[in-house]
């Protein structure tokens, strides 16, 4: 079956992570959650729930800044801290990294690569972060092609949670299903 990488940034968040996890597990699918270190510290139980459910975990920085504007030391710190937290909590180091706002440059890519991370951007931004309603979110991603990477968010918006079952159904009608981020 053809796959599309369904990804969620900014979590974990108590107002969305449990509902997203429920929708995904009910459908029998996995997704990639790019988590922020500060959110992991606030909600470690949610990170562990994602891990225990078999979701793929990626690094999304510690505090969600615009990384290209940071000096080298701050940039390393922003990427390294979530690596350590996720390893301590799950026993695994993430291998995927999505810079906040998909804002990147050579320095950001090099800093991530130095920690064994592959940078992941997206092929479709659902604009759920901008307040899109559930129907607009589905419409933005329903025609994604196999191998694509869909950007959604795990930051408490109910419209994202509402969109997931409808998006999964639209993909299933086309013979698509969520899968891991494709290798680069």
Which among 64, 153, 154, 155 is annotated as catalytic?
A: 153
Query: In the block, which residue shows the tokens 């050579």?
Result: 106
State yes or no: is 154 an active-site residue: no
- In whole angstroms, what is the distance from residue 124 CA to residue 183 CA? 17
- Please tell me which residue in 9, 10, 125, 154 is annotated as part of the active site: 9
Cα dist. 26→22, 53, 81, 150 in Å?
6, 11, 32, 20
CA nearest to 164, candidates 37, 55, 49: 55
- Gap between the Cα atoms of 46 and 29, Å rounded: 18
153 is catalytic: yes
Q: Annotated active-site positions, please?
A: 9, 153
């Amino acid at each position: 079956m053809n796959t599309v990488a369904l990804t969620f940034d900014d979590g974990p968040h108590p107002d969305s992570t449990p509902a997203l996890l429920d929708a995904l597990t009910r459908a029998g699918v996995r997704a990639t959650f790019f988590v922020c270190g500060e959110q992991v510290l606030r909600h470690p139980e949610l990170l562990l729930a994602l891990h225990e459910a078999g979701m793929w975990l990626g690094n999304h920085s510690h505090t969600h800044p615009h990384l290209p504007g940071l000096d080298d030391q701050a940039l390393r710190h922003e990427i390294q801290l979530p690596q350590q937290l996720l390893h301590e909590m799950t026993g695994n180091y993430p291998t995927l990294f999505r810079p906040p706002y998909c804002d990147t440059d050579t320095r950001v890519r090099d800093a991530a690569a130095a920690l064994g991370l592959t940078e992941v951007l997206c092929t479709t931004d659902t604009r759920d972060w901008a307040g899109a309603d559930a129907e607009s979110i589905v419409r933005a991603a329903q025609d994604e092609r196999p191998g694509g990477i869909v950007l959604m968010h795990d930051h408490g918006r109910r419209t994202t949670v509402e969109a997931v079952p409808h998006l999964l159904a639209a993909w299933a009608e086309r013979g698509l299903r969520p899968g891991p981020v494709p290798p680069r």
